[in-house]
Amino acid sequence: MKLAVVFILAAIPICCYASGSSGCSMLDNIIESTIDPAVSVEDYHATIDEATTLPYHKGAVTKFKQCFLDQSNETLQNVQVMVEAIYNSEDCPEEA
Protein backbone atom coordinates (compact mmCIF):
# COMPACT_ATOMS: atom_id res chain seq x y z
CA MET A 1 0.00 0.00 0.00
CA LYS A 2 2.71 2.46 0.97
CA LEU A 3 4.67 1.75 -2.21
CA ALA A 4 1.58 2.39 -4.34
CA VAL A 5 1.04 5.71 -2.59
CA VAL A 6 4.65 6.71 -3.16
CA PHE A 7 4.45 5.93 -6.87
CA ILE A 8 1.22 7.83 -7.36
CA LEU A 9 2.23 10.83 -5.29
CA ALA A 10 5.69 10.94 -6.89
CA ALA A 11 4.06 12.28 -10.03
CA ILE A 12 2.64 15.33 -8.25
CA PRO A 13 5.77 17.54 -8.41
CA ILE A 14 5.66 17.32 -12.18
CA CYS A 15 2.48 19.37 -12.28
CA CYS A 16 2.52 21.26 -8.98
CA TYR A 17 2.64 25.00 -8.42
CA ALA A 18 3.43 27.17 -5.39
CA SER A 19 -0.25 27.82 -4.75
CA GLY A 20 -0.37 24.89 -2.33
CA SER A 21 -2.16 22.74 -4.85
CA SER A 22 -1.36 20.88 -8.02
CA GLY A 23 -2.61 23.74 -10.17
CA CYS A 24 -5.29 21.42 -11.51
CA SER A 25 -8.54 21.39 -9.57
CA MET A 26 -9.52 18.01 -11.02
CA LEU A 27 -6.27 16.42 -9.76
CA ASP A 28 -6.73 18.10 -6.38
CA ASN A 29 -10.27 16.70 -6.20
CA ILE A 30 -9.05 13.19 -7.00
CA ILE A 31 -6.31 13.37 -4.36
CA GLU A 32 -8.75 14.69 -1.75
CA SER A 33 -11.27 11.97 -2.66
CA THR A 34 -8.56 9.33 -2.41
CA ILE A 35 -7.51 10.39 1.07
CA ASP A 36 -10.99 11.21 2.44
CA PRO A 37 -12.42 8.20 4.32
CA ALA A 38 -15.94 9.63 3.97
CA VAL A 39 -15.83 9.14 0.18
CA SER A 40 -17.23 5.74 -0.73
CA VAL A 41 -15.77 3.53 -3.43
CA GLU A 42 -18.79 4.28 -5.64
CA ASP A 43 -18.32 8.05 -5.22
CA TYR A 44 -14.62 7.61 -5.91
CA HIS A 45 -15.40 5.82 -9.17
CA ALA A 46 -17.60 8.76 -10.16
CA THR A 47 -14.74 11.17 -9.40
CA ILE A 48 -12.26 9.13 -11.42
CA ASP A 49 -14.73 8.68 -14.26
CA GLU A 50 -15.06 12.48 -14.62
CA ALA A 51 -11.28 12.80 -15.00
CA THR A 52 -10.64 10.01 -17.48
CA THR A 53 -11.23 9.89 -21.19
CA LEU A 54 -10.20 6.26 -21.53
CA PRO A 55 -11.71 3.29 -19.74
CA TYR A 56 -9.95 2.30 -16.55
CA HIS A 57 -9.83 -0.95 -14.61
CA LYS A 58 -12.51 -0.60 -11.94
CA GLY A 59 -11.09 -3.45 -9.90
CA ALA A 60 -7.71 -1.74 -9.56
CA VAL A 61 -9.31 1.60 -8.62
CA THR A 62 -11.54 -0.17 -6.09
CA LYS A 63 -8.53 -1.88 -4.48
CA PHE A 64 -6.57 1.39 -4.46
CA LYS A 65 -9.39 3.28 -2.71
CA GLN A 66 -9.96 0.38 -0.33
CA CYS A 67 -6.31 0.61 0.72
CA PHE A 68 -6.97 4.15 1.91
CA LEU A 69 -10.26 3.19 3.56
CA ASP A 70 -8.38 0.55 5.57
CA GLN A 71 -5.93 3.11 7.02
CA SER A 72 -6.24 4.90 10.34
CA ASN A 73 -7.13 8.58 10.48
CA GLU A 74 -3.59 9.30 11.65
CA THR A 75 -2.13 7.67 8.55
CA LEU A 76 -4.53 9.56 6.29
CA GLN A 77 -3.54 12.84 7.97
CA ASN A 78 0.11 11.96 7.41
CA VAL A 79 -0.60 11.35 3.70
CA GLN A 80 -2.22 14.80 3.53
CA VAL A 81 0.86 16.33 5.21
CA MET A 82 3.05 14.58 2.65
CA VAL A 83 0.95 15.92 -0.25
CA GLU A 84 1.20 19.46 1.13
CA ALA A 85 4.96 19.05 1.63
CA ILE A 86 5.31 18.01 -2.01
CA TYR A 87 3.26 21.00 -3.20
CA ASN A 88 5.30 23.37 -1.05
CA SER A 89 8.69 21.85 -1.87
CA GLU A 90 11.40 23.77 -3.65
CA ASP A 91 11.04 21.40 -6.60
CA CYS A 92 7.64 22.88 -7.39
CA PRO A 93 7.87 25.90 -9.68
CA GLU A 94 7.03 29.26 -8.13
CA GLU A 95 4.94 30.34 -11.12
CA ALA A 96 2.62 28.49 -13.42
Helix, strand and coil content of the chain, in percent to the nearest 5, comes to 65, 0, 35
Q: Which of 21, 22, 45 is nearest to 33 (CA)?
A: 45
pLDDT at residue 40 in the model: 93
pLDDT at residue 96 in the model: 46
Per-residue confidence at 85, pLDDT binned at 50, 70, 90?
confident
Residue 40 belongs to a domain: yes
Q: Which of 63, 60, 28 is nearest to 47 (CA)?
A: 28
Domain assignment of residue 74, given as a range: 26-91
pLDDT at residue 69 in the model: 93
Mean pLDDT of 63-84: 91
Look at the chain and report how many structural domains it folds into. Answer: 1
CA 3 to chain centre: 14
Residue 83 belongs to a domain: yes
pLDDT tens-digit series, residues 8-60:
666 555 444 445 566 678 888 888 999 999 999 999 989 888 877 777 788 88
